[in-house]
Amino acid sequence: MKTEPAFFENLLEVALPFAPEVLASLKAGQLVSLSGTLYTGRDQTHRRLCALLDEGQDLPVDLAGQLLYYVGPSPARPGRVIGAAGPTTSYRMDIYTPRLLALGLAATMGKGARCAEVRQAMLAHGAVYLAAIGGAGAFLSKCIKKAELVAFADAGPEALFRFEVEKFPAVVINDLEGRDYYALVAAASRCEK
Amino acid sequence: MREIDSTEIRQVVRDLAIAAAHDLEPDILEALLAARDRETGELAGNILEVLVTNANIASRDRIPVCQDTGTGILFLEVGQEVHIRGDLQEALQEGVMLGYEEGYLRNSVCDPLTRMNTGTNTPAVVHVELVPGDRIAIRFLPKGCGSENMSSLVMLPPAAGTEGVVRHVIDRVLAAGSNPCPPMIVGVGLGGSFEKAALLAKRALLRPVGEKSRREDVAVLEERLLREINAQGQGVHGFGGITTALAVHMEVFPCHIASLPVGINIQCHAHRHKEIVL
């Protein structure tokens, strides 16, 4: 059995947060390897961030230019950085996403397709969407070198964390030119029939 | 009459919960390996390779296969000739609670309205059936919700027939897209009543991956559904190829002359399950 997945052979190394020119160069379907800082959040994290915005308060972190990773990690065993930490399904965040994109959020990462409103908002605000490997939480855990709690500790796995990641693999789904990799795959398989 | 202490059951459930989260069973591992070996899509094949590696890392380093360690679903078959000392329901819930705490598993259960996490991953969903004999079979299926959310129940008119069922299942699977972490296992519950169809669909997931129905016409239907789902080309994680589903399992039960209930329970590739017989 191979130990190093071939997935890693042709990844584009990308630093986080994204440099604007790198963000603009990403293409739907491209495999990337992310290193640097990102933030995490899922259902309740989003609900609370938007509740703060409703109240006219500042968010616990400035999301401008950042990547928000949809994940609710499992607890770290003693001496470990984090437990399993793969992506959760993104559509549940769709309702909140345009608002965060308007604040300058540069990228989101999860799994599964985004709705039309989110795709339009990404185009309007110059943001991309990536898919991480769903159901590979143990594997991806190894790419997370540091995990710091930022806010909403009482939300448990739905707290907002800051992760330092190294060579975290992902696939570009929506790029700045409006392409959608899931739609491209679906169109290609229709053509084959 | 055989006696089993509820504390033994508590311990067994704790152990099943921890083992299920970390160690995939041979049925799903073999299905993933077989899918990897025959996959034609390049990215899909590479991701299947990652999933096999992920399973190995999980087991070796005691990191859950997936961070969504699920809602605990327990299926019990209790022999009529067994006497359980103590409170069975309490033992089951405490076993789940202990497993999730001591196994560093994620607490993913909350109040449906307030969304407050219960902090213990309980209550687990428990199904108990009385059967002949003096044994207790316990099956633990931690169910992640990326896949559970893509499940559905519909009451078709009888005139929909087999073709209507096939069309409906394929439509639901395609609509799920990459959300449920394909390659998936599709559990179909056909017939019974409203709640029976849902339960049959979930029970269908307990069958070893790829094992055919014992009813020949149902086995033929399972094979047709699998072939047609995989011919659509969504593939692993929606990235194309020939492996959208690893298996379709269908359980059937007679239903009312006016009805054709169809339950669809989708399971992700991180198909975690553990069984024990006491």
Task: Answer yes or no: is pLDDT of A58 > 80.
Answer: yes
Q: What is the mean pLDDT of residues B79-99?
A: 98
Q: Is position B277 within any domain?
A: no
Q: Are residues B106 and B200 in the same domain?
A: no
Q: Does A148 touch chain B (CB under 8 A)?
A: no
Interface of A with B in 37-96 (CB under 8 A): 43-44, 47, 71-77, 80, 83-86, 88-89, 91
Test A138 with B54 for CB contact under 8 angstroms.
yes
Three-state DSSP class for residue B141: strand
Structural tokens at position A142: 């190894």
CB-nearest to A135 from B43, B57, B270 is: B270
Last residue in a domain, options B143, B165, B190: B143
Q: What is the mean pLDDT of residues B249-277?
A: 97
Last residue in a domain, options B96, B125, B143: B143
Q: Is position B276 within any domain?
A: no
Asked if the A10-177 domain carries CATH number 3.40.50.720, the reply is no
Q: Parallel, antiparallel, or unpaired for β B274-277 and B245-253?
A: unpaired
Reported ipTM: 0.94
Q: Does A3 touch chain B (CB under 8 A)?
A: yes
The per-residue pLDDT for B128 is 97
Q: CB burial class (10 A; 0-12, 13-18, 19+) of residue A14?
A: buried
Q: Is position B40 within any domain?
A: no
Last residue in a domain, options B125, B143, B161: B143
Task: Answer yes or no: is pLDDT of A20 > 70.
Answer: yes
Q: Are residues B120 and B154 in the same domain?
A: no
Q: Are residues B250 and B169 in the same domain?
A: yes
The per-residue pLDDT for B168 is 97
Q: Give B82 to chain A, closest Cα distance, Å.
A: 37
Between CA A150 and CA A8 the distance in angstroms is: 31
**A151 bridge partner residues:** A160
Q: Are residues B195 and B220 in the same domain?
A: yes
Q: Are residues B155 and B101 in the same domain?
A: no
Q: How confident is the model at residue A4 (pLDDT cuts 50, 70, 90)?
A: very low
CB-nearest to B67 from A85, A169, A190 is: A85
Test B47 with A7 for CB contact under 8 angstroms.
yes
Q: Are residues B10 and B82 in the same domain?
A: yes
Test A47 with B115 for CB contact under 8 angstroms.
yes
Task: Answer yes or no: is pLDDT of A1 > 50.
Answer: no
Q: Are residues B134 and B14 in the same domain?
A: yes
Q: Is position B54 within any domain?
A: no
Nearest to residue B42, comparing CAs of A10, A149, A40, A84? A10
Q: Are residues B132 and B153 in the same domain?
A: no
Q: Are residues B9 and B124 in the same domain?
A: yes
The per-residue pLDDT for B64 is 98
- pLDDT tens digits, residue range B18-64? 999 999 999 999 999 999 999 999 999 999 999 999 999 999 999 99
Between CA A124 and CA B277 the distance in angstroms is: 58
Task: Evaluate whether A53 touches A154 at the Cβ level (below 8 Å).
Answer: no
Q: Parallel, antiparallel, or unpaired for β A67-69 and A107-110?
A: parallel
- pLDDT tens digits, residue range B140-196? 999 999 999 999 999 999 999 999 999 999 999 999 999 999 999 999 999 999 999
Test B107 with A77 for CB contact under 8 angstroms.
no
Q: Is position B229 within any domain?
A: yes
Q: What is the mean pLDDT of residues A36-65?
A: 97
pTM for the model = 0.95
Test A156 with B146 for CB contact under 8 angstroms.
no
Cβ atoms within 10 Å, residue B156: 16
Domain boundaries, chain A: 10-177
Q: What is the DSSP letter of A55?
A: T
Structural tokens at position B86: 């103590």
Test B63 with A84 for CB contact under 8 angstroms.
yes
Q: Are residues B133 and B13 in the same domain?
A: yes
Q: Is position B43 within any domain?
A: no
Q: Are residues B6 and B126 in the same domain?
A: yes
Q: List the domain range (segments joined by +) for residue B87.
A: 2-20+65-143
Q: Does A115 touch chain B (CB under 8 A)?
A: no
Structural tokens at position B174: 């395609």
What angle separates helix B42-61 from helix B26-38, to the nearest 10 degrees? 150
Q: Is the dihedral of CA B181, B187, B192, B198 positive or negative?
A: negative
Nearest to residue A72, comparing CAs of A43, A34, A113, A46? A43
Between CA A67 and CA B202 the distance in angstroms is: 37
Q: Is position B247 within any domain?
A: yes
- pLDDT tens digits, residue range A67-112? 999 999 999 999 999 999 999 999 999 999 999 999 999 999 999 9
Three-state DSSP class for residue B276: strand
Task: Answer yes or no: is pLDDT of A190 > 90.
Answer: no
Q: How confident is the model at residue A6 (pLDDT cuts 50, 70, 90)?
A: very low
Q: Are residues B139 and B160 in the same domain?
A: no
- pLDDT tens digits, residue range B256-267? 999 999 999 999
Q: What is the DSSP letter of B231?
A: T
- Residue to mutate among A43, A74, A114, with most B CBs inside 10 A, is A74
- pLDDT tens digits, residue range A141-172? 999 999 999 999 999 999 999 999 999 999 99
Q: Give A142 to chain B, closest Cα distance, Å.
A: 9
Query: For residues B111-145, b (16+ Cβ closer than 10 Å) or e, as one string?
Result: eeeeeebeebbbebeeeeeeeeeeebbbbbbbbbb
Q: Is position B220 within any domain?
A: yes
The per-residue pLDDT for A7 is 59
The per-residue pLDDT for A189 is 82
Task: Evaluate whether A30 touches A12 at the Cβ level (below 8 Å).
Answer: yes
Task: Evaluate whether B22 touches B63 at the Cβ level (below 8 Å).
Answer: yes
The per-residue pLDDT for A2 is 39
Q: What is the mean pLDDT of residues B69-88?
A: 97
Whole-Å CA distances, B173 to A9, B182, B185, B226, B245: 31, 10, 10, 11, 9
Domain total in chain B? 2
pLDDT over 70 percentage in chain B: 100
